[in-house]
Structure 1
Amino acid sequence: MSKIERIAMDLLEPYIEDKDIEVVDIEYVKEGKDWYLRVYIDKPEGISIEDCEDLSRYLSDRLDEVDPIKHKYILEVSSPGIERPLKKPKDYERFKGEKIYVKLYQPVDGRKEFVGLLKDYRDGNVYIEIVQGEIMAIPLEKISLARLHFEF
């Protein structure tokens, strides 16, 4: 997490602590000539446009007070979407039984990408069923990207 992302998270903590809102991810990235500060949020019953607007106003005001970003940037607050990233151990716990996409830093059995059913998370390993009855244990630190997988 970058310094700007940490500052944004620290500023959000008081706002989200009693609202049952989870910060799924924060990213501060440059795309083309523009900088973006993106905050992805979720809650058990789902995120509304009003949730995003309220949090955006709150965070924008706090960022203006602290002024950690000296150049122009775009603040975006949204839901993580249908293919939500899985970042934390609790994400893997929450989405057991769901189909996920996993990309690894290095190949295992000649492959770096897998789609399968998330069976379990324990002892730092993600267990996914790649083929019916075949469960693969992947250490969390070997995963470069994991997200829910939705087939269109």
Structure 2
Amino acid sequence: MSNVVETVKQVVKPILDEHSFYLFDVEFVKEKGGWYLRVYIDKPGGVTIDDCVVVSDELSEKLDALDPDPIPQAYFLEVSSPGAERPLRNEEELKQAIGEYINVSLYKNLNGSKSFEGTLTAVDDDQLIMENDKWGKNPTLKVPRDLVAKARLAIKF
């Protein structure tokens, strides 16, 4: 099904470029007896429901016009934001998150914990640097990159 994902990426790119959105991810998966084509979009400041509707309508029209049909089986098209607590999957996304509040899960304990939340202040090849005023006398934490299992944006409470 990777050919479906690649085709959808090619078809959706001009639509996203026209509206100044960017593609976060595309999934084509079978769940609960049905196929789902999920397209995750984003833009600085986040996307709205209206943004998702615009992309969904335009993408649906373009996919329906393709011959031969790249997705011959019935499917549900879902266009959405990757979410307020989206994963930070690669170097580029980590660097874009500098200044954002994030959650980092670790493979093993660091300072007695395997999970930290704070503002990401810097990223380099060796470490993530985070700050959180709740950490007392040492509000800055240097997290070695090789300990990071997952990183995601987080909502600060």
Specify if TM > 0.5. yes
Which stretches in structure 1 are left out of the alignment for 5+ residues?
none
Q: Which residue of 2 aligns with 1:83?
A: 85
Name the TM-score, length of structure 1 as normaliser: 0.76
Aligned length: 147
Larger Rg: 2
1:134 lines up with 2:141 in the alignment: yes
Identity score, percent: 37
Q: Which residue of 2 aligns with 1:116?
A: 117
RMSD: 2.9
What SS class does the counterpart of residue 98 from structure 2 fall into? coil
Which stretches in structure 2 are left out of the alignment for 5+ residues?
none
What SS class does the counterpart of residue 60 from structure 2 fall into? helix
Residues in 2 aligned to 1:126 and 1:41: alpha-carbon distance in whole angstroms:
28
Bigger drift between 90-99 and 68-77 goes to 90-99
Residues in 2 aligned to 1:147 and 1:49: alpha-carbon distance in whole angstroms:
22
Residues in 2 aligned to 1:92 and 1:71: alpha-carbon distance in whole angstroms:
37
User: Could you report, residue by residue, the CA deviation over 1:51-75 in whole angstroms, capped at 9, with x for unpaired residues?
Assistant: 1111111211222215222211111
Residues in 2 aligned to 1:5 and 1:126: alpha-carbon distance in whole angstroms:
33
What SS class does the counterpart of residue 97 from structure 1 fall into? coil
User: Could you report, residue by residue, the CA deviation over 1:94-119 in whole angstroms, capped at 9, with x for unpaired residues?
Assistant: 22132323446xx3349995333323
